[in-house]
């Protein structure tokens, strides 16, 4: 079934493989994408994925993080993004732009900024975000955030993209309002499951108004939060403790999904877990060395950031590694069974995300009716030609992704690429692969081609 076409709202997909969102330093300091962004996305389109879902593009320039990630908070960002969209579409590849707001989980900043603490409620979260305390947004700030989503959605349509996806997952701002352990509000945006949904509901209504009824509009939603993973300290405790410990379960998220269908959402993109990164959304190993690097690079931003850096560098690794790896395991098709529940009970097309790489497993998932499309990111970063290999009859690439989770953390500080040394014969080979992925601009490629041509001419002489 991988190579059977599929359509959502009349938009055809040539096969069932979607490149999921991958963030990276492919923009200028102000968030304007560079040709590195375009050429990065083109490589997947050239290798026959049916669609690309962009990195989560920030709707609020005050919480654009990490630096040099794309932003869509002003009309000046439309034109360069439109050029990238057009470059992808020429390969019969659909381009869906994902927008979001990191909220209190903002990862990095040039300086400590008050805006980076904004969340559903005031609380301490040790693992996510650099601010020592996340701060509850005011009614006015909530209204401004909703409007920013709407304006970013308008810009998405003006780029000529095939569709729009809003992330209500990954522990980002919308997810912070949905999650009962994080959302401790007592106003119309918190408390009951209905009130926690209100922020997302108003975002969806505003977005649909801005893009129109004929434009493809999906939501990335977590099937269940698993608040207890990754190992974290989130204070004060929330009662009942089951909400603090688990967050939303499948039951609550199916309720959210039914409401989203009623609001006119066209598809659901299902993953698992709360926060980025987390062991349910990024099945595999915990990238301890990369976390150390990340913490060390941001220790200046707050007391919490400093303390995290001190702890990970002080605690012996033979103690820290087993603790940090609690709950982290490479589980194939980790969200597939839950995705089936959404597909069967809600009746919307479903994209399943997490733990896919084996062609046999993808075929089984599709044939069993667990999902309509399969999204993956890390395996395609490791093997951009994976879909071509499937076409040739391969079940796995010769050098598969190990799901080590080094790349999601490394690329907050460094270029996009695979950072698992076990996949390469030497460090030089790994570095060459990273630089190839980030071979940034048309200008650089043209320069290299000219240099090679001149070298050949000199050699002939």
In the chain, domain spans: 6-422, 424-461
Nearest to 135 by CA among 147, 149, 124: 124
What does pTM read for this prediction? 0.94
For the record, the structure tokens of 215 come out as 């434009």
Cα–Cα distance between 126 and 132 in angstroms, integer?
Answer: 8
Average pLDDT along the chain, 461 residues, taken 10 residues at a time: 97 98 94 94 97 98 93 98 98 98 96 97 98 98 98 98 98 98 98 98 98 98 98 96 98 98 98 98 97 96 97 97 97 98 98 98 98 98 98 97 97 93 97 82 47 48 46
Query: Is residue 359 exposed (0-12), middle (13-18) or buried (19+ Cβ within 10 Å)?
Result: buried
**What is the per-residue pLDDT for 275?**
98
**What is the per-residue pLDDT for 439?**
66
For the record, the structure tokens of 218 come out as 């999906």
**What is the per-residue pLDDT for 456?**
52
Cα–Cα distance between 170 and 168 in angstroms, integer?
Answer: 7
Please give the full DSSP string across 446-459, using - where no structure is assigned: HHHHHHHHHHHHHH
Report the CATH fold assignment for 6-422.
TIM Barrel (3.20.20)
Nearest to 36 by CA among 74, 73, 70: 70
Contact 374, 352 (CB under 8 A): yes
Contact 261, 346 (CB under 8 A): yes
Cα–Cα distance between 350 and 271 in angstroms, integer?
Answer: 11
First to last CA, the chain: 55
E-strand ranges in 325-368 read: 350-353
For the record, the structure tokens of 41 come out as 């996305």
**What is the per-residue pLDDT for 437?**
84
Query: Is residue 425 exposed (0-12), middle (13-18) or buried (19+ Cβ within 10 Å)?
Result: exposed
**What is the per-residue pLDDT for 441?**
45
Cα–Cα distance between 404 and 393 in angstroms, integer?
Answer: 26
Sign of CA dihedral 121, 122, 125, 129: positive
**What is the per-residue pLDDT for 55?**
96
H helices of 263-335, where?
Answer: 288-297, 303-314, 317-324
């Amino acid at each position: 079934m991988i190579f059977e076409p599929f359509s959502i709202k009349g938009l055809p997909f040539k096969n069932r493989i979607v490149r999921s969102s991958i963030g990276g330093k492919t923009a200028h300091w102000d968030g304007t994408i560079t040709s590195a962004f375009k050429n990065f996305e083109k490589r997947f389109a050239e290798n026959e994925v049916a669609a690309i879902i962009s990195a989560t593009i920030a709707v609020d320039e005050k919480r654009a993080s990490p630096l040099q990630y794309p932003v869509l908070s002003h009309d000046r960002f439309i034109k360069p993004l439109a050029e990238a969209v057009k470059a992808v579409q020429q390969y019969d590849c659909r381009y869906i732009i994902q927008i979001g707001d990191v909220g209190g989980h903002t990862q990095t900043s040039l300086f400590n900024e008050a805006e980076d603490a904004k969340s559903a409620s005031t609380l301490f979260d040790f693992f996510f975000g650099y601010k020592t305390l996340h701060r509850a947004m005011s009614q006015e700030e909530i209204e401004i955030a909703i409007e920013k989503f709407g304006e970013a959605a308008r810009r998405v349509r003006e780029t000529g993209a095939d569709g729009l996806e809003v992330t209500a997952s990954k522990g980002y701002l919308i997810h912070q309002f949905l999650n009962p352990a994080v959302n401790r509000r007592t106003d119309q945006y918190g408390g009951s499951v209905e009130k926690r949904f209100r922020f997302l509901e108003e975002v969806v209504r505003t977005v649909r108004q801005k893009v129109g009824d004929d434009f493809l509009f999906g939501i990335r939603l977590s099937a269940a939060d698993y608040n207890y993973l990754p190992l974290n300290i989130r204070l004060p405790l929330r009662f009942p403790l089951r909400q603090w410990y688990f967050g939303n379960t499948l039951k609550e998220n199916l309720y959210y999904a039914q409401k989203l269908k009623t609001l006119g959402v066209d598809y659901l993109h299902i993953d698992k877990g709360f926060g980025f990164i987390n062991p349910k959304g990024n099945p595999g190993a915990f990238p301890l060395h990369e976390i150390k690097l990340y913490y060390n690079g941001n220790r200046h931003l707050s007391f919490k950031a400093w303390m995290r850096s001190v702890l990970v560098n002080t605690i012996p690794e033979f103690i820290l590694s087993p603790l940090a790896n609690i709950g982290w395991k490479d589980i194939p098709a980790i969200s597939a069974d839950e995705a089936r529940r959404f597909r069967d009970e809600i009746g919307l097309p479903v994209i399943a995300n997490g733990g896919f790489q084996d062609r046999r497993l993808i075929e089984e998932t599709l044939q069993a009716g667990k999902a309509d499309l399969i999204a993956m990111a890390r395996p395609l970063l490791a093997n951009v030609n994976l879909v071509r290999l499937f076409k040739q009859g391969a079940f796995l690439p010769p050098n598969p992704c190990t799901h080590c989770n080094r790349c999601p953390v490394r690329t907050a500080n460094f270029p996009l690429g695979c950072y698992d040394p076990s996949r390469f014969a030497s460090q030089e080979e790994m570095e060459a692969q990273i630089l190839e992925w980030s071979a940034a601009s048309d200008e650089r490629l043209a320069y290299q081609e000219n240099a090679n041509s001149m070298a050949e001419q000199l050699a002939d002489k």
